[in-house]
Amino acid sequence: MKFNNIIKIALAFGIFASVGSCSEDRLDLYPDTEESLEGKVFTASELQYLLNNAYGSVGSASALGANSIIYGELMSDNAFISNTNSGYYTSANAMNFSDASPEASSTWAQYYAIIRNANIVIHADVVLEEAASPAVLEIKSQAHIMKGMAYLMLAQYFSPSPKLGMDSPYGIVLKPNAWDPNEIGVRSTLQDTFGAIVSELEKGLEHAPDQAEHKGIFTKTLANFLLAKTYLHFGKNEDAIIYANKVLNESPAAFGLLDVEDYMTYFTSNDEAEQENQPETIFEVPQTASFNLDVNAHPATFFASNAPHRSILYRPAFRETFSDDDIRKGLFGNNGPGSDDPTGIFIKKWQRKPASQGAYTQDIKVFRMTEALFIKWEAMAKLGQNPLNELNAFAQSRGGNTYSGDALTAVLEEKRKEFFGEGTRYYDLKRNGLPIVKETNCVINCNISADDKLFVFPIPSSEMLRNPGMQQYPGY
C-alpha cells in the first residue's frame, strides 16, 4: 500500500532536498564533493536528512533498484537477453567483462557511494543534547545496516567465492573512517571483509527499528536476514541457521511467510494493498507515480512482455522443470520473439503498469522472508542435517515436485523455482562453487567453471589508475 501522503514517501527515501530545519546548502553532500565533515555538528532532523539521502542511493538502478536483480538472473542459467533487444544488459548477459566494463564501474561507484553516505551518518557529530536520543541511535543503526549490506554486495561481485578459500587476499576495500574525499585504500583480505560485514550488521542490530511504516526502511529483521546471508556466504553454517531462525521466529507481526493462497496476488495483483508492504517482504524499494526508476531502469521495463525494453526471457527447459500443479508455473507468461532459438518466455513477476498509480510504480521487492527458510535449509544440508522433510513440505505447499537424494542439490533447485526473476541464482551458484551452464540461448561464455575469473568483477580501470596500491583480480 502506498503512503497516504507523498510527502511521507519523500521524507523516508530522500526524494526531497530538505527536511524541517535543514539547509540545502549545509547538507549538499554528494559523491564528487570536496566538502569535509570536519567541524560540522548536526541536529537529529539534519541527520535524518542525511539518512534519507543514503536511502536514495540504495534504491538506485545501479544498486538494489534493478541491477542486483537483473545481474543475478542474466549471470546464471535462468535468463537471457533476447536477440531483439534495446542494447541494455547485453554485456552482463554475455559475462564479457573487462576493467572498462560498465557493470564493474557502475557497481563499484554506486556501492561505495552508499558506503560514503552511510559513513557520513555514522560518523556525524550530533548536538550534545540529542546525541544519545533514541532517534539518533536509530538513525545511526540504520546506516550501519546499510554499510554492511553494501560491503556484502561488493564482496559478492568483486571477491572470489569463499568456497575457493577464505585466505584470499582479494577482499574489498573497507571504509572504517569518517568520509574523506581524498582517501584511497587497498583490498582487505576476504577474512577481514567478512569480519567488517558482521561488525556493521551487529552494530545495526543495536538500535534499529523493530518495524517501520513501510518495508523500505531498514529494520532489525533486515539486519538478522543480512547476517544470515553473510554467514551462509562465508561458510559459517551454524551461525547462518541461528540468524535465519531469528528472522523466522523473532520478527514482529509485520513480517510473515507468504502463503500459497496469496502467492499470485503478491506478484501480480493490480491492487497495491495486495502487493506492496506485505508481511513476506523484508525490504523493498518504493516507487510512486512521481518518483520511480521509469522506463529506462525499472525492472519491469526489461521483464514485462508489454514494456518498451522487453528483452529478458527464460529458457523453456527451465519452465518444464515445474509440475503443472505448481502455482509458480503460472508466473511464466507469453513467448518472446521468434528471433531466439529456442524461443524464450517472459515472466509476470515484474509489471509495467500494476495499478492506478501508473507505469513503473510497482515497488521493487528485494529481500523476502521465504529466503530465510532456504538459508536455513542450505546451511542444514552443508552440516549434514537433512532438511528434505521440511523442503518437501514446502514444495508440496506450492504444488511442486518433491525431492530425494542430495539435499543441497534439492535445496538449490527448489530455491531456483521459488525465486526465479528475483536475482538470487547467480549468487547461489557462486557461493556454492558451482559452474554456470547455459545450455541454450548463448553465444559466448556459456559454460563458466567455478574458478573462472568471470565470477569476479574486475576493479574498474578508473580506480586502478587513481590508486597505485590496488590489486586487480588475476586474469584481468
Instruction: Convert the pLDDT of each residue in 225-241 to its tens digit.
Output: 999 999 999 999 999 99
Mapped onto helix, strand or coil, the DSSP state of residue 364 is strand
User: Cα–Cα distances in Å, from 346 out to 228, 313, 350, 391?
Assistant: 32, 5, 10, 27
For the stretch 178-205, pLDDT in tens is 988 888 899 999 999 999 999 999 999 9
Domain boundaries, the chain: 6-26+43-466
Is the model's pLDDT at 17 over the cut of 50?
Answer: no
**CA separation, residue 183 to residues 13, 186, 276, 416, 467 (Å):** 28, 10, 40, 41, 10
Q: What is the pLDDT of residue 360?
A: 92
What is the predicted pLDDT for the residue at 16? 31
pLDDT per position as a tens digit, 323-381: 999 999 999 999 999 999 999 999 999 998 766 678 999 999 999 999 999 999 999 99
pTM above 0.95, yes or no: no
Q: DSSP state, 87?
A: S
**pLDDT the model gives residue 194:** 98
For residues 81 and 74, what is the distance between their CA atoms, to the nearest angstrom? 8
What pLDDT was estimated at residue 22?
35
Mean pLDDT value across the chain: 92
Q: What is the mean pLDDT of residues 39-50?
A: 93
Whether omega before 468 lies within 30 degrees of 0, making that bond cis, reads: no
Could you give the residue ranges of the DSSP H alpha helices within 358-422?
369-382, 388-397, 407-419
**Phi, psi dihedrals of residue 368, rounded to the nearest 5°:** -120, 150
Task: Report which of 80, 65, 59 is spatially closest to residue 425, judged by C-alpha positions.
Answer: 80
Residue 37 phi, psi (nearest 5): -85, -5
Q: With bands split at pLDDT 50, 70 and 90, how would you rate the model's confidence at 35?
A: low
What is the Cα–Cα distance from 129 to 134, expressed in whole angstroms? Answer: 12
Mean pLDDT of 80-105: 96
Q: Which residues contact 390 (CB under 8 A, 6 or more apart)?
A: 373, 377
Q: Cβ contacts of residue 70 below 8 Å, gap of 6+?
A: 89, 92, 299, 302, 312, 423
The better pLDDT of the pair 233, 14 is held by: 233
Strand partners, 448: 436
> What pLDDT was estimated at residue 354?
63
Which of 261, 418, 238, 401 has its CA nearest to residue 325?
A: 401
Predicted confidence at residue 371, as pLDDT, reads 99
Among residues of the chain, what percentage have pLDDT more than 90?
Answer: 86
Q: Which residues lie closer than 8 Å to 92 by C-beta, 6 or more apart?
A: 70, 71, 74, 75, 103
Nearest of 160, 154, 184 to residue 172 by alpha carbon: 154
Distances (CA, A) of 181 to 104, 118, 178: 21, 14, 10
Alpha-carbon distances of 95 from 158, 282, 420, 424, rounded to whole Å: 14, 30, 19, 17
pLDDT confidence band for 462 (50 / 70 / 90): very high
pLDDT the model gives residue 350: 96
Instruction: Answer yes or no: are the C-beta atoms of 216 and 283 closer than 8 Å.
Output: yes
User: What pLDDT is recorded for position 355?
Assistant: 60
Owner of C-alpha cell 505448481: 326
CATH no. of 6-26+43-466:
1.25.40.390
Residue 310: is its pLDDT beyond 80?
yes
